[in-house]
Structures are given as C-alpha cells and as structure tokens.
Amino acid sequence: MDRKTNLKQINEKGKVWDIAVIGGGASGLGVALDALSRGLSVVLVEKADFAKGTSSRSTKLVHGGVRYLAQGDIALVFEALKERGRLLQNAPHLTYNQPFIIPIYTFFDRLQYSIGLKIYDWMAGRLRLGKSKFISREETIQRLPQIKQEGLKGGVVYHDGQFDDARLALSIALTCHDLGGCLVNYMQVIDLLKDQNGQIKGILVRDELDKSKYKIEAKMVVNATGVFADKILQMDQPDAPKSIQPSQGIHLVLEQSFLGGNDALMIPKTSDGRVLFAVPWLGKLVVGTTDTLREKAKLEPEALSKEVDFILETAGAYLTKSPNRKDVKSVFAGLRPLAAPKEGSTKTKEISRSHKVIISKSKLVSITGGKWTTFRKMGEDTVKEFTNITGESLAPSTSAEIRFHGFTTAPENGHWKGYGSDALFIQKMIRDNPELGHKLHPDYPYTQAEVVWSTRHEMAMKVEDILSRRMRVLLLDARAALEMAPKVAELMAQELRKDEKWMAAELEDFQKLANKYILK
C-alpha cells in the first residue's frame, strides 16, 4: 500500500468512483471492505492516520456485549456475537479467545451472572468461544492471584474475543488495497461537490502533508467519520441538527502483575453502574473504562483527573495491591460517537450502541453509532443504500467470508503475531541486513526492520503512526515510546527521503503527544 501510487489514482482525470468513503476508522473501513466485496470501485480518505481516533482507543474487546444483554438489547447482542465469531475466523493473527472471570461475593450474584452468561452462550450458538461456568473460590484465586479474597465465594468464567484494534484497522485497509481499493491517509475533506440540482457528486480534498488539492467524483459519498460526523453533515447542510454526543472512555495501562494469570477480570457493577474490565493485552494490563459526556469532539482527547481516580479506586477495591498513579505506564482516552440523546435524557450508558444509516436530501449517506465488533455489518448496511442512491443494481455482499490481510492459521507467538503472514517478510529483511534486527528499546521486542516495513508497506507517514498504531508502544508504555522516537524518526527519514528539519519537527510533535499519555 503506497501513498504516492494512490495519489496518482485520485488525480486521474475524468474518473468517477462508485463510492467515496470519508473516514478511515472502523466504520469507514467496513464500508470500503463491503463495497469492494461486491465489485464496486472505492476511494477512501482519512484526515489523519487510519484508526487515529476512537478506533485505536477501545477496550480491545471483540464482544457481543454482556452489558447490552443486561439492558435487554437482544438484537444487538445477537448481531455482535455473530460478527465476533466471523472476526475471530477471518483474522486469527489479530484476535484471541479471552477467558473472563467475574468474581462472586454473594449468592445472588452467582445466580444472576450464571444464568445471564448461559443465555449469552446460547445466543452465540455454534460461534461460541467456550462454555461459561461457575468456578470455586480456590480456582478463582489460582487464576486471578491478585484478587481480593475477603468474602470471595468463587467466580463465573465466560469467553469473549480480544484484539489489537489499530492493527486490525490496518489489516482491513491492506485487505481493501489488495481488493483494488484506493486508500489515502492525511487527506482532509474540505468541501462536498454537488451538481446543479444540489445532489452530492463527490468531494474536494486537501493533502495535509503537502497541501495540494484534489477533486474526487463519486456516485455515492459516505460520511463515516464517527465522532466527527456532524462536521460533514453541516458541510452538506449548515443548519443540520447535532446528531452525535461524544462520550469519553479512558483506559489505564498497568503491569500485568497487578492481576496475575492470563484471565481477564470483569467487574459487573461499578459505582456509576457501568462495567470495569482489566484485560491482559500485549504483555500489559488494560483497565477501563469510563463514560463521561464531552462537549466537543477532539482528535486527541485527554483523560480527566476524576476519570483516572475513578478507575484506580474501582480497580483497587478488587485487587490485593491497589495501583496508584505512579504505576500507570500509559493512559489513553477515546470518544464514543453516541447518537445525541433526546431532550431530557443524559444517561450515556442507556443510549443504544446499534448503528444508523442516515441519508440527507442531497443524498449524502452517513453511518453513525455502532461499535468495532459490528464494523463489517455496519459497512454492509451502508452499501445496501447504493441502489437507492444511484438506481444501479448491486451484487450480493461477500465481506463476511473475506480473510484479512496477513491471514494465517499458524501465526507466530509474541509481537510478530500482529503481522500475520507478513512477519516472514520482515524476518527476511533482518536476515538480509542483520542491523535491522536491533531492538528499538531493551525492554520491548520491536525491531528496526518493523519501522522500515511499516513506512514502505503500511503507509506510516509520521513517527506517531509507528509508535502509536503500527507498534502499540505509546499505549503500552509512553516513556519507552519517547525513548524509541529518535531512532524511529531517523529510519523513517531515510525511507521517506526527509531531512534533519523534518526529523526535528516530528520529534517535537511526538514529545508533545506522548506527554499526554504520561500521568503527572
């Protein structure tokens, strides 16, 4: 996937694409994937990097949504469980079957969660990842060595999926590229193109790296910008009402030893009525999340002090060693694009997580809401509108069967797993040039070769792209990411033919960013 080649495609005179997708996160990539599976021509533009926003800041779960079951949103759970099964089948190099344990302290909890999770198992049908069951106090302590033991009666085990969100987004982007799609990051939509009848016929975009502009004509334009959907809706119709209510969720990253074992912890009821997860992820422990209404959508949201305190206190109530601020390796925040609630309703946990496809008078198609697990179904539901918009017939969707780029039934262990079958090519680079095998940091396995690979083949354009989303170091250990940045900048500068000035600017930008991930 080469950015220069794709820019040439965008610049082709007289070309009219079937679908132009605005947004390179989960929902935009889902639309592109589904459209390509039906043989349509697709261009996708993203104003920053793929999955830069919400799509790289999740709780790292591919899940049916135990919480939605409790809220009675049965249809969403059925849909999500089906999609969860497909994702684990199509991307074994980026997904895991993760056992979760709910610690049980009362008989009523045992009854409630055992029954609820049996229903969850039944709903998953043949795509079930494992049976839920009650385990003894002794086994709970053995599997969660750091769990508070006072009053503990046992635990309920259930299974869900776990994944690397940003690398999955990248794998889908590469899959779209392999299917003939044209994807470009750092490409901002600055206007919508309309015909004399006021109907959408394309987009005007600006390259954020060199400021050149391009006109892209398309039969259908999809607004898949998540938390920024209103900006595009207002570009189409200046008086469009607010459709998105951003809700912030933060996560703290700790050493895995705070929980011990390989199981994840699920605390079913926190003081604000949400659930709290502590999930082993890439050798660390991700603990979250919160639900805080925010006024404005930001590309780089920051955790509030009260959110950090809430997670530390809640986790501390269940762990033998309470974590404190000094123990946090990194903190990251994401914004959920919830449907703006009706007047008088403010409870974000009650707003449905199901998605909606909206078509404006000018035939701009917007996809809002949803969650990572159902990204493919969101894409399918959006592309279905192609016939309504264009009057052209549409081939059936085959996106449910597509195996994602890097697919292998025998992925390597450790950090190589995330590259899937591409790991072999990176390892060959190291054999050909052993210096590329040097680690970027003594505490982490990432090599110089991976920086070169991501710059050449994964459209990484900035130091942040590598350290935050190609490798996940910024989210795992922000201080280590800062130490790795100079070498990353040097290797990228060689590949992209950039000078010292570029390197200095990149390092300054990355320093500012990384400081937001470090708890003061």
Q: What is the pLDDT of residue 342?
A: 56
Distance CA 190, CA 213 (A): 9
Q: Are strands 182-184 and 200-207 parallel, antiparallel or unpaired?
A: unpaired
User: Does residue 32 sit in the same domain as residue 175?
Assistant: yes
Q: Which residues pair with 365 in a beta bridge?
A: 222, 359
Q: Which two tokens stand for residue 333?
A: 């925040």
Distance CA 287, CA 301 (A): 17
User: Does residue 151 sit in the same domain as residue 264?
Assistant: yes
Q: What is the pLDDT of residue 133?
A: 94
User: Does residue 264 sit in the same domain as residue 157?
Assistant: yes
User: Does residue 227 sit in the same domain as residue 259?
Assistant: no
Contact 509, 465 (CB under 8 A): no
Q: Could you give the number of structural domains in the chain? A: 3
Task: Please report the beta strands in 425-519, taking only residues with DSSP state E, as ranges in sequence order.
Answer: 439-441, 444-447
User: Does residue 172 sit in the same domain as residue 319?
Assistant: no
Distance CA 404, CA 443 (A): 30
Distance CA 486, CA 483 (A): 7
User: Does residue 222 sit in the same domain as residue 269?
Assistant: no
Give the residues of the chain that fall short of pLDDT 50.
344-346, 350
Q: What is the pLDDT of residue 95?
A: 94
Domain-ending residue, one of 291, 309, 341: 341
Distance CA 144, CA 147 (A): 6
Distance CA 299, CA 24 (A): 13
User: Does residue 253 sit in the same domain as residue 136?
Assistant: yes
Answer whether residue 77 is part of any domain.
no
Answer whether residue 48 is part of any domain.
yes
Specify the CATH number for the domain of residue 148.
Answer: 3.30.9.10
Q: Which residues pair with 366 in a beta bridge?
A: 223, 358
User: Does residue 474 sit in the same domain as residue 494?
Assistant: yes
Specify the CATH number for the domain of residue 238.
Answer: 3.50.50.60
Q: What is the pLDDT of residue 341?
A: 61
| pTM, entire model | 0.95
Task: Please report the beta strands in 67-142, taking only residues with DSSP state E, as ranges in sequence order.
Answer: 95-104, 133-135
User: Does residue 196 sit in the same domain as residue 47?
Assistant: yes
Distance CA 260, CA 251 (A): 18
Q: What is the pLDDT of residue 291?
A: 87
User: Does residue 149 sit in the same domain as residue 259?
Assistant: yes
Q: What is the pLDDT of residue 349?
A: 52
User: Does residue 30 sit in the same domain as residue 175?
Assistant: yes
Q: What is the pLDDT of residue 146?
A: 95
Specify the CATH number for the domain of residue 445.
Answer: 1.10.8
Q: What is the pLDDT of residue 350?
A: 45
Domain span at 505: 414-515
217, burial (CB in 10 Å: exposed 0-12, middle 13-18, buried 19+): middle
Q: What is the pLDDT of residue 438?
A: 98
